[in-house]
Structure 1
Amino acid sequence: MARKSTSHVQSAPGHGSRFSLWIYVHLQQLRLTMREIWHTPLTSLMTIGVIGVSLALPAALMVILKNAESVTAEWQNGTQITLYLQKGTSDAEIQALQARIQQNAQVASVRYISPEQGMSEFKALSGFSDAQAYLSDNPLPPVLEVKPRQAFHSTQESEQLLRSLKQESAVQQAKLDIQWVTRLNGIIALARQLVHLLAGFLVIGLMLTVANTLRLYIFNRRAEIEVMKLVGATDGFIQRPFMYLGFWYGAVGGLVAWWLSEVLLLLSERAVTYLAELYDSNFRLVGLGSADGGLLILLGVSLSMGAAWFSVHKHLREIEPQ
């Protein structure tokens, strides 16, 4: 009896063997479900196409928003307050005001532009160099350009600095050159919410497509499923190939979505580059990147397998052997 017991213990598979068998079974199931996709190319391509487009549209819009945010961040770094001084302000008063502003902890630099220098810049930039001949005097006021420190570039802090500078008696008018950027940030925030809403609708469509496709697979294999249940197969064993079908649909659909977003980016790159050059900018579009592309594929797999589990779990309960 002791010898038989020893023989039984030695022949029992170890944890490593069971794990290797588990890996082998799942890899074989992955290969078989891939073959199943190749056997139904039209249905599979339509399903993968729907998944790819459903993921590509919000992904492309998010790429556009990401690039727009990077542009506005660069513009916000160029925050500047322009102080238009009273005409007739003496040079001594201007120098004293400039020194006081420079001592402010929020200020990085102060640049003085005299009326003569302002007229020279106006002539160079506007192209109306002959217009000065018709002016009896220089109408431009003295100007101080105040640049806040990097730590105080936010809209609230810049507006606070603007209010304090307006209180100087020599200042006739003050202008913050970031207000339009604030409005643009508001538009981008609204666009982001609309993108999230659109992505939600597309995700629902994606899951319904995968669920409906797998429902057709289940009904086509109804007799096979009934036989498997008769011989004692569990629901988990039966639904495994359908889950792997969902995995392949999501993975390939995510790759298609990544490819489509890159194609849209390439098609837009020339126009964006031309527009940037008109504004003397070296801005270039930035795509998803490997990390975001991997997340897009993972999202496709997760949504597709979630839809597969819901569809298979629901319909397997309705199939019982007669």
Structure 2
Amino acid sequence: MSGNKGGASPKPRRLSKLQSPGKPPRREVVGAKKHRTGFRDRLDSYRSHHRQVAGESLRRLLKRPLATLMTTLVIAIAMVLPAGLYIALNNVDELSQGWDGAARVSMFLKFSVDDSAAESLRSELLKREDIAVAEYISPSAALAEFRERSGFGEVLDQLNSNPLPGLIILTPHAEHSGTKQLDALRGELAAMPQADIVKLDMEWLQRLNTITEISRRLTLALAVMLAAGVLLIVGNTIKLAIENRRAEILVVKLVGGTNAFVRRPFLYMGFWYGLMGGVLAWLLLQACLLWLRGPVSELSGLYHSDFLLIGLGLGESLLLWLAAAGLGLLGAVLVVGRELRAIEPR
């Protein structure tokens, strides 16, 4: 006989809809949701604390406007010097950009070479593969042009003869405009019996490009040294701020504050110092450019040029601000960790 009363068979146990075979229990799903919610809460708390610390650090700096302005001004001057040299070099490049590729060779002829012989020589030179354009300027045409541009017409009228020689201006092809090729061409032209003096018009531009390259390297070296100076300035300022708040730091550590918690306000302080220094440096650069723009425009007008000073673009301005803020933050990082490890409650 069966042990069940009345002989009735046991009823099968019903499975919950949320606990059907192959599905995880409900409590695991709820636990996952709680885990995601907890992570989101911690992230929101982390962001909120960073905003609070950043704002509090900025307010502390603004409460001491004179001291903050002095430190910021030193950082700005350190940033202005390399940035100003960078702008100057950019303007030199912009000014000389239209001269690139305008390599010409001026071949001054001997006084014994008449116009017909000069024209014959010009035709021969045009047959060379490396010469694109050959222009002959006769002595009379050169004298007339000089008379028109110099304003010394009365003086020139008193001369017994024309002191200017004939001139052939040669423009080589672009593929033959290299430095070595131009030097070789000048040597060949100077060896001709009709030539008196052969001048390469690109010599001065090559010297300018060499000087510009040297200036760029000097600017980079100066920027590195001044960046190190900014690190020292910010680091020393943060060190003094830590010493002034030493008692507050001890209290925070006594109640369980970690070094990371204590370090955060000083890191933001270094960031604000750097950012304000970068913005002030940008304002100083803009003021200098505005002050110089008028005289430079007047000077370029005297040379019949429409050249205008160019400053920092949007990307370059943002890079200046970020570089300054990064240097301020790095200066704080290098100092804060070491100083806080030395402050421990006993």
Q: Give the TM-score normalised by the residue count of structure 1.
A: 0.88
Once the two structures are TM-superposed, the CA of residue 58 in structure 1 deviates from its matched residue by: 1.7
Q: CA, structure 1 residues 260+151, in 2 after alignment: closer, same or farther (shift >3 Å)?
A: farther
Q: Which moved more, 1:172-181 or 1:130-139?
A: 130-139
**Cα 1:150/1:262, change in 2 over 3 Å:** farther
- Say if 2:123 is the partner of 1:99: yes
Q: Secondary structure at the match of 1:112?
A: strand
Distance 1:289 1:108 in 2: 39
Q: CA deviation at 1:132?
A: 4.2
Give the equivalent residue in structure 2 for 1:282: 306
Cα distance in 2 between the residues matched to 1:132 and 1:311: 75
C-alpha spacing 1:3/1:197, structure 2 compared with 1 (3 Å): closer
CA contact under 8 A between 1:243 and 1:309: conserved in structure 2?
Answer: yes
Q: Which digits, 9 at most, give the CA deviation of each residue in 1:251-279, with x for residues without a partner?
A: 12111111111111111111211222222
For residues 130 and 60 of structure 2, the distance between their equivalents in structure 1, rounded to whole angstroms, comes to 66
> Structure 1 residues 27 and 149, CA, compared in 2 at 3 Å: closer, same or farther?
farther
Contact 1:56/1:260, CA 8 A, preserved across alignment: yes
- In structure 2, C-alpha distance between the alignment counterparts of 1:151 and 1:43, rounded to whole Å: 61
Asked whether the 8 Å contact 1:60–1:264 carries over to 2, the reply is no
Corresponding residue for residue 140 of structure 1 = 164
Partner of 1:125: 149
Matched, 1:252 2:276: yes
Deviation at 1:90, TM superposition (A): 5.0
Which one of the candidate residues 84, 88, 91 is aligned to 1:67?
Answer: 91
2: CA distance, partners of 1:236 / 1:282: 56
User: Which of 275, 297, 300 lines up with 2:321 in the alignment?
Assistant: 297
**1:57 touches 1:261 (CA, 8 Å); kept in 2?**
no
Q: Distance in 2 between matches of 1:23 and 1:154?
A: 59
TM-score calculated relative to the size of structure 2: 0.83
Distance 1:3 1:289, change over 3 A: closer
Matching of residue 321 in structure 1 with residue 339 in structure 2: no
Taking a change above 3 Å as real, the CA distance of residues 220 and 138 of structure 1, as seen in their structure-2 partners, is closer
Partner of residue 200 from structure 2, selected from 176, 179, 188: 176
Of residues 208, 211, 214, the one that matches 2:232 is: 208
Residues 203-229 of structure 1 deviation map (CA, whole Å, 9 limit, x = unaligned) = 222221111111121112212222332
Q: Are the equivalent residues in 1 in contact too, given 2:109–2:167 (CA < 8 A)?
A: yes
Q: Answer whether contact 2:231 2:328 (CA < 8 A) is retained.
A: yes
Asked whether the equivalents of residues 143 and 164 of structure 2 are also in contact (C-alpha less than 8 Å), the reply is yes
Higher mean C-alpha displacement, 273-282 vs 181-190: 181-190
| Matching residue of 1:46 | 70
Give, in angstroms, the shift of residue 164 of structure 1.
3.0
Change (3 A) 1:149 1:280: farther
Give 3-state SS (helix, strand or coil) of 1:282's partner: coil
Match of 1:232 in 2: 256
- Give ranges in structure 2 of 5+ residues lacking alignment: 1-24
Q: Is the 8 A contact 1:76 1:153 kept in 2?
A: no
Q: Does structure 1 retain, via aligned residues, the 8 Å contact 2:115–2:138?
A: no
1:221 aligns with 2:250: no
Runs of at least 4 residues off by over 6 Å:
none
- Per-residue deviation, residues 43-66 of structure 1 (Å, max 9, x unmatched): 222221111111112211221122
Contact in 1 for aligned 2:58/2:269 (Cα 8 Å): yes
Q: What is the root-mean-square deviation of aligned Cα atoms in Å?
A: 2.5
Change (3 A) 1:129 1:308: same
Q: Which moved more, 1:82-91 or 1:53-62?
A: 82-91
Q: Which residue of 1 aligns with 2:33?
A: 10
Moved more, 46-55 or 177-186: 177-186
Contact 1:72–1:185 (8 Å) recurs in 2:
no
Distance 1:297 1:212, change over 3 A: same
Structure-2 residue corresponding to 1:243: 267
Letter in 1 for 2:291: L
Q: Does 1:199 align with 2:223?
A: yes
Separation (CA, whole Å) in 2 of partners of 1:156 and 1:268: 39
Say whether residues 1:270 and 2:294 are aligned partners. Answer: yes
Q: Distance in 2 between matches of 1:18 and 1:105?
A: 76
Distance in 2 between residues matched to 1:25 and 1:220, nearest whole Å: 23
Tell which deviates more after alignment, 40-49 or 99-108. Answer: 99-108
Q: Quote how far apart the aligned CAs of 1:128 are.
A: 2.5
Moved more, 282-291 or 161-170: 161-170
* Amino acid in the other structure paired with 1:163: G
Structure with more contact order per residue of length (Cα contacts < 8 Å, sep ≥ 6): 1
Identity of aligned residues (%): 35
Counterpart of 1:203, as a letter, is A
1:168 to partner: Cα distance: 3.0
Instruction: Tell me the number of residue pairs that the alignment of Structure 1 and Structure 2 aligns.
Output: 321
Further displaced range: 312-321 or 271-280: 271-280
CA apart distance, 1:107: 3.3
Mapped to 2, the partners of 1:157 and 1:288 lie a distance apart of 37
Displacement of 1:121: 1.1
